[in-house]
Each structure stands twice: as structure tokens, then as C-alpha cells.
Amino acid sequence: MTRADLFLMAKEFIDTEYPSLERLYQEFHAHPELSGLEEWTAGKLGKELQAAGCVVTRGVGGHGLVAMLENGPGPVIMVRADMDALPVREETGLPYASTVRMTDTAGREVAVMHACGHDLHMTTLAGTARTFAALKDSWRGTLMFIGQPSEETVSGSARMVADGLYARFGRPDAALSFHIAPDLPAGTIGYREGIFTAGSESLDVRVNGVGGHAAHPEQARDPVVIAARIILAFQTIVARECPPDEFAVLTVASVHGGLKHNAIPDEVDLQVNIRYFEMKIRDLLLNAIRRTAEGIALSAGLPRDRMPLVTLLPESVPPLINDPAITGRIAAAFTRTFGEGQVRRIKPLTGSEDFGMFSIADPPVPVFYFRVGCGDGRGSCGYLHSSRFAPDPVFLKDAVAALVIATAELLDRPFR
């Protein structure tokens, strides 16, 4: 049987399964859960994969799950979907819109929504598992379906690997994943080799000062003013220290300090995020942040023991790098199947994604990540992380077809 025959059979099966997949998507959408709290979600996805014939293990790296579909000797291919939702109040008006509220890990009660398409990703994973289970006579090997928690905090993949993912279930020959893309036309597939998404570091910067009365600022060392100077000085790091042909972003996204109009506080807390494609730029940014903050604190008359405290947070991830050889194979398979007009080589994304952490092994696992468009050119479905993000679920047909083609290409011949 040729790959073209396999795709035609898969497409017919996907069309038959679509009503069931749409209902599954609506159920996922109506029951979102925050990062690290995906208990119901993991249970539901696990039951779907088990019904497709997989052997399912839950509780890997938190609420992560691993579902193995074995079908004789051949390559072992990982296929991953993320499971968590966002603290966003849904405003789509959909009949199955989320009304869920949860207490987050900081103790705050928040509205929760699948505003990033992870509900569609999980449904696509289930549809892909069903397809390969139904067409077992057409392929050989092992599929390792992964339900990953905590993608929005870019931490779930690393926790699954640290929890013995490969020691317990075996090292895959390659790993696949994708993301919905409202900025690409519906049915379009976006790919690229090499750097696909940016690296990201989140930092807490505590700006120390000496508190006092607002009537006597000369007796204090005002951390609000010091923090303001630091924030403005940070804006020159990218403009004046990074090479113009290198990608770099530095954002101060949160400023908190003080409780009373007439009381100068002792400290101000900043939340900072940086984005980069090259590790040398990451190091440049981090060094410049520390140097700039300390220099301004010294100029304000603070002693050495009151310098700003810069803390790197676990919510950080390196760039996601697609394996060039695998990318070439799958991109060619996409083009043969969907046509050149539907397959685009895209630019690296400035957003971040922790799927690349699954490459950590000895030897590394080659990974391929791609995007599937759902846009209509008018922005009517909203954008990622928007309270109005509501793509047409018919997207599932394109997504399952693309994931089946990518997986089948890697099952086609062994890597070892």
C-alpha cells in the first residue's frame, strides 16, 4: 500500500469520525483546567486513547499521560498534545463556552478558558490515535501518544522527562507536535527547519530601597524612582547592546510596590521577560539586566548589600529547534499530499513552546513542530490567548490529516 492509499483511507475515516471528534472537542472546551491542575482533562484524554487501543499510563511528571500503541517491529514515534488552559474569562458566546472558575497555584480564584487551542490539539491527538488503530494493517512500529501538562508555564515536558519518561517507556526515534494558527489561512500548513520558536526567560527583579515618609524623601532611597529609572534603562539594552541583525525582546510586564500614598516603600518588584533565538543573546540580555539594575542602584546611593535581586524562574525555555532532515521529509510529504499552495515555509516565531524539551536524551530525540491554519483573513475567530478565540472546529479535519501524514512519513522507514 502506498502512502497515497493510506492518506485516502485516513481521510475517509476522519470524515466518518468528525461528528464524534467535534463532540469531544466541545467537551474539552467546556471543561478547561489550569497548568498543573489538569486532572479531569488527563482522565478524559486517557480514556479516549485507551478506547482507541492504547495502553495508558497517567501521572507522569504531574498529570502527564503516556499512551502506547504497539503494532509490530519498526520506529517508535512520539506524538504530543498539550492539555492545559489559561486564566481567561471566555467571551465567545459559544453554546459550549467555559464557565469554569478555579483556584490557581497562587491561591487566586480565576476564570478559565481554552484560549490557546489545546482542546483542539487533544482532540486531534485522539483522532490520530483512532486513525492509526483503524488502519493497523497499513503500518508497523510503535506510537507513543503524549498528553502534556503545563505547557503554558513551559514546564510540563521537562517534568515528564525528569520523571523517567524515556527510562520507563523507551526513547522514541522522533517526536511530533503542532499548534493551531489563526494567522495562517484555514488548511494551510506552516513549517520550517532549525529555530521554530524563541527561547524565553522569566525573571523577578526586586528593587531594594530605604522606605520613609513622603514628606521627607531625602531621608529615604525611593525604590519606586529607582525602579522607574531601571525600567527606562532596560529599554536601551536591545536598542544599543544587541546586534541589529539579532532577534531580542525585553519586556517589563509587571510593577508592584508600596501600599500607601504617603509612605515610600522599602522595595519594588518587577516581572521581566526576555525572548531570543541565540543563546549568546540570552546571556547578553541577562548580564546587561544585572549590570544596569546594579549600576542605577549604586548611582542612587544604595550600599552594596542593597543591590537589586535578579532571580531566574523555572518558567523559562530554550528555543525550539526542528531537526532539518525530518523537517525536509515531512514538508515534502505535506506538499505531495496537500499541494504546494497549502504548505508554507514560515519565519521563526517570537512566541515560546516547551515541546523541544522532549529532545533531551542521549542521543537527543529529533523533533518536528508545525502549525495548521484556521484563519479566514478577517480575524473572526480571534487570536491565541484572546477571550474571543473561537476557531471553527472543522479545523480538526485538516489537523488530524496533517498529523497522520507526518506520523506516517516517520513510520515509513526506521531511523536506527
Residues with a catalytic annotation lie at 82, 152
CB 191 within 8 A of CB 343: yes
